[in-house]
Chain A
Amino acid sequence: MKELEAFKQIERFYNNQLNPEELAQFKLLLKSDPDFAEYYRQYQQLDGTLRFYSRRKALKEQLTSIHHELETSPESAPATDRKVITPFGDKQKRKIFWNQHYATIAVAASVAILTVFGTLMSIDVWRSMGKQQNARYTALRREVEKIKNSQRAIAKGISGVANSGAARPIPANFSGTGFAISSDGYLVTSYHVVKDADSVFIENQNGQRYKVKNIYRDQAHDLAILKIDDAGFSSFGSLPYSFKSDLSDLGERVYTLGFPREDMVFGEGSVSSKTGFEGDTTSYQISIPLNPGNSGGPLLDNQGNLIGVISGQQLDQQGASFAVKSAYLKQLVDQLSQDSLDSPIKLSKRNYLAGASRPEQLKKIKDYVFIIKVYNN
């Protein structure tokens, strides 16, 4: 009963019902009696919690009734009450479903897309690999760099139209090499150099520049015969080299002149096989390092006999270049002379190079080797 009495006392203290005497006694008791102090503390906590409990409970009830009101009055709760019936079920549910699973769906979709495109790409790569296997051969005509083109265009733009004038040569789209085969203006080059040509110009080391008109093509042997058609041209004079009809021997030293860039470049090597690419009997395999632009260049042996026309290179093999045998050039010239031309082409038969040193030979030849500039649009 001590506890009950204590509680009574404490409550009276809380309600300020104690007279001064009792108040003093109460405070003394609070200090001296630990049990009483504990009751006091418990009462405080209990009373506080009960009051708090009642307040919160009231508030909760109030809010619940407000919420109920909110739900029952349709105009104040537009988002909650509007249920649209659609053929696809409850929109709200779908939305929740989407919110919960959109990450998974996104991952699945990206995986699917990646797989599809990955498969397509790998099939494509596989196919192009097959194609590469077949096309290891590359023709050596030079595609004049686009950068150079645009740089020149810019330079032209800066220097102004009047200044540049019409005399400045426009850079060609493609270039190759060619050489004279007769004194009256016939030249030979590779077929692929002049393949899609609109107009063809030739130019040699001395800066002599001629327009070429007639072009006779032999696609099978990758050869083309050009005829100079220019008022400024009279004759080449006698050519220093002759044309060989027999096969050259393996290991014979050979060399070529060509225009893989704007300047003439000399290349030397030897005949490494009597057959060309994939056993092609119309050409030699030669061990001269070649570059795009060398196509159509003359292939000469030590004595200064022309034995072939440079044509191409095997891509996946180091130093395997090819040249069309001169016998086929002769054959083409003979046919042309018979069929298409008014007067036959006279191939030079005399050789002024035999016995001369290599630099001497080159000095004599260089005027007869031309850079072929091909324009097309």
Chain B
Amino acid sequence: MPNVVYFSEEALLAGIRREDETAVAYLYKQHYPMVLHFVLSNNGTEEEAKDIYQEAVILFIEKIREETLELNCLIKTYLYSVCRRLWLKRLAFKSRFGGAVSESDTFVDVADDVVEYEEREASFTKMAEALVLVGEPCKTLLEDFYMQDLSMQEITEKFGYTNADNAKNQKYKCLLRLKKLFFNLYKSEVEHE
């Protein structure tokens, strides 16, 4: 349970913007039961509810942090709408129940947001694949640099390079390899379609 209770939605949004972990946890826990209920009552499982809900929360938090979301309704309504949309897509994919759901709440139109999210999710998957393909030690090096925000000096020490320039050169080589793999994946994707 979060120590801070967020009394208003504005406070919660502000907390999410400044990357407050308790705010995220609070948001996540507050609305999960609703989505769980929705998915369970529409031929879904708990596992699927979790997937759907996490996607929706990621979409929401990213858009809030990038300030690209103009929220005209309750957070709850927005999350429900996204989950509903995602779930409808999944049902249509399963194509067994024709994509009709029993509504348990009001919803707003989030079609564009979801499409955008899916495009980004695709590039996310590509990047993950490319990172696997680029292999060690490049993967760790790049992850350290981009995700852990380690400085070149720290990386030099960690990987045992003689100096920072060496490490930098290694990083560029890795980046180039990653670039090649990443754009190849993109290309093969286009050819597939």
Contacts and interface: CB of A to CB of B under 8 A. Distances in A.
A40 interface: no
Nearest to B36: A79
A49 B124 CA distance: 7
Contacts of B62: 55-56, 59
30 contacts: A4-B176, A8-B172, A11-B172, A42-B179, A46-B179, A46-B182, A49-B123, A50-B142, A52-B123, A53-B124, A54-B146, A54-B147, A55-B62, A56-B58, A57-B147, A58-B147, A62-B21, A62-B24, A63-B28, A63-B57, A66-B24, A66-B25, A70-B29, A73-B1, A76-B29, A77-B33, A79-B33, A92-B40, A96-B45, A99-B41
Contacts of B126: 49
B36 A63 contact: no
A51 interface: yes
A50 B178 CA distance: 10
Interface residues of B, number: 44
Contacts of B25: 66, 69
Nearest to B120: A52
A358 interface: no
A50 B36 contact: no
A229 to B, nearest CB: 77
Interface residues of B, dominant DSSP:
helix
Interface residues of A, dominant DSSP:
helix
Interface string B1-43: 1000000000000000000010011001100110011001111
B175 interface: yes
A195 interface: no
The contact size tier of chain A is 35 or more
Given A46-B182, A50-B142, A60 B54 contact: yes
Contacts of A52: 120, 123-124
Nearest to A59: B58
Contact of A66 (B29, B37, B131, B182): B29
A3 interface: yes
Interface in B91-149: 97, 120, 123-124, 126-128, 131, 142-143, 146-147
Given A49-B182, A62-B24, A70-B28, A3 B176 contact: yes
Nearest to B121: A56
B43 A99 contact: yes
A100 B54 contact: no
Given A76-B1, A79-B36, A100-B43, A60 B123 contact: no
A70 B24 CA distance: 13
Nearest to B97: A100
Contacts of B179: 42-43, 46
A7 interface: yes
A4 B25 CA distance: 42
B143 to A, nearest CB: 7
B127 A50 contact: yes
Given A7-B176, A42-B179, A42-B183, A60 B58 contact: yes
Given A8-B172, A96-B43, 19 more contacts: A7-B175, A46-B175, A46-B182, A49-B127, A50-B127, A50-B146, A53-B127, A53-B131, A57-B147, A59-B24, A63-B28, A63-B58, A64-B54, A70-B29, A70-B32, A79-B33, A92-B40, A96-B40, A96-B45
